Amino acid sequence: MAVGNWEKMMKPSKQKRNFQSALLAAKLLNKLCLTSSISAVGLLTLLGLPARAVELFGNEGIQFKQDTIVEFEFIVSHGAYQSTFGVVDLDSCTTDSLDTCEKTPLLWEVKPSDTADTIYRRSSYEDNVKINDLDDFKGTPGDAVPEPLAEFLFKAGRRYAFYLESTFNGKPAGTVYSTNLYNSYGHRQALFNNEPPDHADLRLVTRRNVLVETDDKSDDLINGGVLIRWDDTGSELVQEEFQDVDFDDFIVGIGGQIDDCITLEQLEQISSQQGQNQETGSSDQ
C-alpha cells in the first residue's frame, strides 16, 4: 500500500487522490469478484449494474441501493473530547429516540490526544489540520486511535447516519450526527468534503452558514473518497457564542474506489463482527 502524509493529501496530484494510505475502498457485493485493476465506472458497466450503487451520501442521510462494504480510516483529531465514530441504523429504532437505534462503533480514541493539553488556551478559530497545529489536542493514528482502520456493511435500502459520541474526563459530553435533522437546532455538525476547506488563515464559517458545494457526495465516494470533518460543539466546555466551529475535532476518510475481492466467508466475518460491536457498543473503549 502506498503511504502518503496529510500535506500531500491536501494538494492532490493529477493522479488518483488518496487518503493517508491507499487502502480506502468502497467494495460492492456481487456474485463476481471485483478486481482492483478495473475502474469503478468500467466495472459497473461490465457487470450490468447500476452506475450508482450509492443512493444518498451526505448530510441528508446515508443509503445504498445494494449491499455495500465501505472502508474507513481515521485521519486526525483536534479536540479536547475523547470521541467514538460510528454508524447508526435509523431503520432499527424502536421509538423516535435515537437512543433506541442500533449503533456500531467503528473508530475510537483511547485518550483525547496524543499528549496532554490544556483547555484554558484561547481558540485560534482556525482549521488546525491544515496548519498542523501540534498544540490543539492533536490525536493521530496509532496513538490516540490505536486501530485507525475499519469497515462496515451497509444493507441495501436501509437508512443510516454517522455519529460522533464524546466524553470529557470520563463523563458524557454529547453525541452529534452527520444528518443535520438529528442535531440540536438542526445544526450541521459534520462536513462531507473531498478536501478540507481552504480557511486555514481565516475564521471558519459558522455552522448555520456553512459553505457546501453539494450536499450529496455519492459520486465522490468511489472517485477518490470523501472526508467527513466533525465539529463536536465543545458545549460542555464553552458557551455556544464562544465555540470555534472549526470542523477539525475528528476527521475520517471514507471510501475511495472499488477495490479487492470479497468472498462469502469474508462477508460473514464482517457481519458477525458488526453484530458483536452492536452488542458491546463503546463499553470496551
Q: What is the pLDDT of residues 269-278, one digit of tens each?
A: 766 777 777 7
153 pairs with which residues across the strands? 69
Per-residue pLDDT tens digits of the chain, which is 285 residues long? 222 232 223 333 333 334 433 333 334 442 222 222 222 323 233 233 344 566 888 888 999 888 888 889 999 998 889 999 999 999 999 998 899 999 999 999 999 988 876 554 554 445 445 545 556 789 999 999 999 999 898 899 999 999 999 999 889 988 999 998 898 888 888 988 754 444 433 333 444 444 444 567 777 777 778 889 998 875 544 455 444 567 888 999 888 655 444 555 666 676 677 777 776 664 455
Those residues whose C-beta lies under 8 Å from the C-beta of residue 84, and which sit 6 or more positions away, are: 105, 107, 108, 109, 164, 165, 166, 282, 285
CB 1 within 8 A of CB 36: no
- Residue reference for cell 485493476: 37
- Residue reference for cell 473508530: 107
Domain borders along the chain are 6-280
At 199-225, the pLDDT tens digits run 433 333 444 444 444 567 777 777 778
The predicted structure's pLDDT at residue 116: 72
Distance CA 94, CA 87 (A): 17
Question: Which of 126, 86, 90 minimizes the C-alpha distance to 108?
Answer: 86
Distance CA 280, CA 269 (A): 17
Distance CA 189, CA 183 (A): 8
Given its phi and psi angles, is residue 125 left (phi above 0), alpha (psi -120 to 50 degrees) or beta? left
Those residues whose C-beta lies under 8 Å from the C-beta of residue 20, and which sit 6 or more positions away, are: 3, 4, 5, 6, 9, 73, 75, 141, 253
